Structure 1
Amino acid sequence: MDGKLQRQVLDTAALPPRERFGMWLDMLAGSPTPLRVRTAHADDFAARAEFIELGRMRLIRYRYPSLDCVRTSKLIRRSDPDYYLLALTLTGTSQAVQEGRRARCRPGDLTFYDCSRPHEVSHHADAAGPAYARSVVALVPYDALPLPHRKLARLFAGRMSGSEGVGALVADFLTRITAHPDQYHAADAERLGAVGLDLVATLLGRNLVSEDAVPTEIRRRALREQVHGYVRQHLGDATLDPGRIADAHHISLRSLHRLFEDEETTVAAYIRDERLARCRRDLTDPALGDRSIQVIAARWGFRDKAHFSRVFRAAQGETPQAYRARHLESARIVNTTASAVNPARTY
């Protein structure tokens, strides 16, 4: 076991076409929130579901041609686990209906509903777009969100933007974790789940126009994650500094510095360390071996060559040139050894 975040995958392609939809129905029947399902593609339901457990939050990445689902009162009486569901539409058009409200979602939109109340959900691929409808959902227990259930009812089957503000951060979290679980360690699953829950709680609080309902510490952690995301998106801009970050998040410079006190670092140090991490990655990439060190440094916000060399040497104990040469030579030796063990065959 390599210690990476684990995922379970169900892919109907493993079965003959006419058995695929039955496999999907069996999966849904065994889930915490079973549904009654229809599709126009029952004769060949090519679909895939990937499950990732992050502490108390479960993430599922779906791909299918089309689905129309209903969770009835009868199914709820049979299985009522007290879950909320937050869904991000990636491709196609989706729709959620609950208690008289209806949300029609396009790619980048989020919707939220209560699995313990009757609802309808549909998701179809666009005729002129990709062949599959894709989505990511987060299944969250009631008591994992510090928000009153009666207040959240106002958001059921509502559409929320996943392209701006906290919504964009939530969408980025859902897509990054489910698209690249191998980039994260299994030991971090609980912490990643806690971050996800903080972001979801903050998103819902803002859409309730009652952010004060979200505990201060949760809002603080969510804001810190939002700042982290902003920094990562703007590392290549040499003008990125604490003042610009504070302005972008409508907080004072003093408040920004307080956010980083728990991390035992400063805003400037965080920016520098993130830039150095990207530079180290590029310097050790054989595919970028013909790219100059100065170009790599500039790509991540180090515009002055001498300054970059000083900062890099202080952090790594060697010059960028020596660091690159050492790692590329190691990669060359490994590749040469692998070629010797597994020589190419000609037929």
Structure 2
Amino acid sequence: MLHRDTVDTTVLPPAERFGMWLDLVARTSAPMRIQSAHADDFAARADFIDLGPIQLIDYRYPSLDATRTRKLVRQSDPELYMLALTTGGVGTSSQDGRRSEIRAGEFTFYDASRPHDVGHHATEPEQGQASSIIAMIPHAALPLPPQRMAALYGGRMSGSEGVGALLAQFLLQVTGHPEQYHAADASRLGAVGLDLATTMLGRHLVAEDEVPTEVRRRALVTQVQAYVHRHLGDATLSPQTVADAHHISLRSLHRLFEGEEATVASYIRDLRLARCRRDLTDPALRTHAVQTIGGRWGFPDKAHFSRVFRAAYGLSPQAYREAHSGPARIVNRAASMVNSAEAD
């Protein structure tokens, strides 16, 4: 499981919660002045996940306003960019003369080494909470021209289309389900998140050519893989349909995967087979016909499904199900014991 550090103010009495939050903010690498109309009962939570190249913070809190002054910057300059996805409520972002209103599902971007103001307000002031996910990116880790980044400060970017949507899904998945990943995955996940952020920011700079080629390649591979996961059950999914969906030639798609462990076709096939294998051993799906499971994951032809499954796992789908079901294991174990006794 990915390591996650959590700060939850609700462990304290209401009157002490805002002070706990102020202490937390003061200890961060980019402290800010915080004001809130909910200072008398500030029920808030912050989850920190370190992914090596980047750090993610999942915030949930009552409405607040925050300012990073020039004095605070002089006292502590972490040399970090902040890429913030608003997940609940309405946010505001202001830096270098640009001010934007950020709605749920949108990103904003700012530089913690410069003064800025941010606000975040719940849409239901009485009982609602505002929420956001922050990706903290070191200046040195972002392979884009630093002199051009100011064009994005305080602006807003969509998290519902293109690479922005993929990045938003990535942030929500990792922060929402850290238990689904191994601690050893952290650096690789951080590299994926950094590639996606770099590509999205580069496109908003209208400077994609300045994004390193390998970064663009890895971001596009991640985008293609996410598309495959979403369409595994479509029997028409193929390298050609994947290429068409991403507006590239089939040859370009194959070239894109030359640096990966599998070709596009084998990546699709292996994912489908893995889903079939999982469902065949699921007790809740025991009454579902083998062919129904195959068809569900893109294998409508029974003979073809049986052939490729046997090639991958050494057994037909039916035999695999029987060998890995609870009763079958008991029978096999009993038979083994009988054979052993007879041998004695």
TM above 0.5, one fold? yes
Asked whether 1:274 is paired with 2:281, we answer: no
2:153 is matched with which residue?
Answer: 156
Letter in 2 for 1:311: V
Asked whether 1:23 is paired with 2:20, we answer: yes
2:80 is matched with which residue?
Answer: 83
Distance 1:34 1:218, change over 3 A: same
1:32 is matched with which residue?
Answer: 29
Q: 2:297 is matched with which residue: 278, 297, 300?
A: 300
Task: State how 1:217-236 maps to structure 2 within 5 Å.
Answer: 217-236=214-233
Letter in 2 for 1:287: A
Letter in 2 for 1:156: Y
Stretches of structure 1 that go unaligned for 5 or more consecutive residues are 334-347
Letter in 2 for 1:29: A
When Rg is computed on C-alpha atoms for both structures, the one with the higher figure is 2
Stretches of structure 2 that go unaligned for 5 or more consecutive residues are 331-344
CA deviation map 1:70-106 (0-9, x unaligned): 1111111111011000011111111111111112111
Q: Is the 8 A contact 1:91 1:130 kept in 2?
A: no
CA shift, 1:320, in A, is 2.2
CA distance in 2, matches of 1:24, 1:103: 25
Asked whether 1:185 is paired with 2:173, we answer: no
Letter in 2 for 1:51: F
CA shift, 1:113, in A, is 0.6
2:122 is matched with which residue?
Answer: 125
2:112 is matched with which residue?
Answer: 115
1:42 is matched with which residue?
Answer: 39
Q: Is the 8 A contact 1:136 1:174 kept in 2?
A: yes
Asked whether 1:249 is paired with 2:242, we answer: no
CA shift, 1:221, in A, is 0.9
Letter in 1 for 2:128: A
CA shift, 1:287, in A, is 3.2
Answer with 111-120 or 261-270: which moved more: 261-270
Q: Sequence identity, in percent?
A: 65
Q: Is the 8 A contact 2:51 2:187 kept in 1?
A: yes
Task: State how 1:66-77 maps to structure 2 within 5 Å.
Answer: 66-77=63-74
Distance 1:269 1:216, change over 3 A: same
Q: 1:101 is matched with which residue: 98, 101, 107?
A: 98
CA distance in 2, matches of 1:90, 1:310: 45
Q: Give the alignment's TM-score, normalised by structure 1.
A: 0.90
CA RMSD of the aligned region, Å?
A: 1.9
Q: Give the alignment's TM-score, normalised by structure 2.
A: 0.91
Distance 1:291 1:15, change over 3 A: farther
Q: Is the 8 A contact 2:107 2:158 kept in 1?
A: yes
2:199 is matched with which residue?
Answer: 202
CA distance in 2, matches of 1:115, 1:227: 33
2:134 is matched with which residue?
Answer: 137
Letter in 2 for 1:206: R
CA deviation map 1:302-322 (0-9, x unaligned): 222222222222111222233
1:166 is matched with which residue?
Answer: 163
Q: Is the 8 A contact 2:322 2:328 kept in 1?
A: no
